[in-house]
Amino acid sequence: MANKAPATGAAQIKSLERLCRAVGVSGGEGEVRQIILDEIRSSVDEVKVDALGNILATKKGRGAKPLRVMLDAHMDEVGFMLVADDGEGLYRFKIIGGIDPRNLAGKQVVVGREHRPGVIGAKPIHLTTADERRKAVAEEVLRIDLGPESKIKVGERGTFAPNFQRVDPSLMSKSLDNRLGVSILIELLRANYPNIDLCAAFTVQEEIGLRGARVAAQFFQPDLAIVMDATPANDLPMQFEGDNVFYNTRLGLGPAIYVSNSSTLDDPRLVHFMQQVAQKAGIPFQIRQPGGGGTDAGGIQRAGAGVPVVSVSVPHRYTHSAMSVARIADWKNTLALLHGAIRQITPALLK
């Protein structure tokens, strides 16, 4: 069987759009899970949904004792849960995951499996004081308005209204974190890697503590793991004197290889290997600036007897907001880098 490189054409972007338009807030990933299951079922040997809702799929390698390689992408996104019904279609809510509340007022949202449309309104400016307008709006004073005849019940989850658009050379959407990674893992599963036992995990609850990845790793007990995620690009111009030396990553410079973050030191062998693969193949890449933040790698590294990990992420601006921006080329190059790397993995890598 020819080991063809994964495609990154219109069909793949269409699939990514479908993923971005789905709603899968941490703990309620069902809609995304269903899309992924439909997409991967025919290309894996086994697939199951575990106790937390992770999708765990395997593709066996050939040979005596291939390395067990875990590929991980979290499928959940940030959002909110309705926590109290104030009547008249107005609901209180609590944020799920790390949304800066300054991104909430004046936004369109959807709630529940049926994507019921709603809005997060704001006090009319005419009724505010200048002092008030200098303070951030607190989550507590905001309400989700679903219209006076809403039948939605407390406990439902929701998030920013789907808004995917392609504006070359970019993609703009909610939940690019981490549907970018999910779509890459789906495409990787369409290829064949006889050199490894491929263990794919589409995980839940990353945004609330890397919880799905931890149990997935404990289930697979892999020899090494590669995490694909979306990472912030804080590469905007300074609005006062000084240089931007804390960009984390920059749009358009290719996949971001992790070295260190608050939850993980990425395995130096894997970090080196990724760079080598990229250089040889002429794929642009960047090192994600060491610093805070993290990925599922933090949950995987310390699972069981420990797992060597590395994260490779697609840069995107304005993470955890109503609309993020990523470059199509970065997404394609991340997929190309991971494909190139995975096919070259041999047990020697960990020697």
Partner 1 sequence: MTDILPFLKSLISAPGLSAYEGPVARVIEEKWKPLVDEVSTSRLGSLHGLKKGSGKPPRPSIMIATHMDAIGLMVTKVVDGLIHLDEIGGIDVRILPGTPVIVHGIRDLPGVIVLPPLKTLPEEARDGAIGLRHLLVDTGLLPSKAESLVRVGDLVSFNTAPTELSGGVLSGHSLDNRASVAALTICLEELQTRSHLWDVWAVATAQEEETLGGAATSAFHLEPDLGIAVDVTFAKGPGADGWEAFPLGKGPTLGWGANLHPYLYKKFKQLADKLEIPVAMEVTPAHSGTDAYSIQIARAGIPTMVIGIPLRYMHTPVEVVALKDLQRAGRLLAEFIGGLEIDFVSKISWEAEDGQ
Could you confirm whether 31 is annotated as catalytic? no
Among 44, 49, 119, 259, binds partner 1 (CB under 8 A): 119
Among 72, 103, 79, which Cα is nearest to 27's?
A: 79
Among 63, 98, 147, 268, binds partner 1 (CB under 8 A): 147
Give the span between the Cα atoms of 109 and 129, in whole angstroms: 27
Q: Is 211 helix (H, G, I), strand (E, B) or coil?
A: helix
Determine, following the binding rule CB under 8 A, whether residue 145 of this chain makes contact with partner 1.
yes
**Residue 256, token pair as written in the block:** 């971001």
Among 108, 218, 221, 279, binds partner 1 (CB under 8 A): 108
Determine, following the binding rule CB under 8 A, whether residue 256 of this chain makes contact with partner 1.
no
Determine, following the binding rule CB under 8 A, whether residue 78 of this chain makes contact with partner 1.
no
Alpha carbon of 190 to those of 31, 35, 43, 255, 339: distances in Å? 21, 15, 6, 20, 11
DSSP letters, 91-146, are: EEEEEES---GGGTTTEEEEETTTTEEEEE----GGG--HHHHHSPPPGGG--EE-
What stretch of H or E contains 14?
Answer: helix 10-21
Interior CA angle at 286 toward 19 and 253, to 5°?
65
Total number of residues binding partner 1 (CB under 8 A)?
64
Q: Which of 17, 39, 206, 207 is catalytic?
A: 206
Q: At closest approach, how far in Å is the CB of 172 from partner 1? A: 5
Determine, following the binding rule CB under 8 A, whether residue 325 of this chain makes contact with partner 1.
yes
Q: At closest approach, how far in Å is the CB of 117 from partner 1? A: 5
Tokens 């104030």 found at: 86
Q: Which is nearer to partner 1, 45 or 88 (CB)?
A: 88
Active-site positions read: 206
The residues binding partner 1 (CB under 8 A) are: 88-90, 100, 102-108, 116-128, 133-137, 141-143, 145-151, 160-161, 163, 165, 167, 169-172, 232, 234, 236-240, 244, 246, 252, 317-318, 321-323, 325
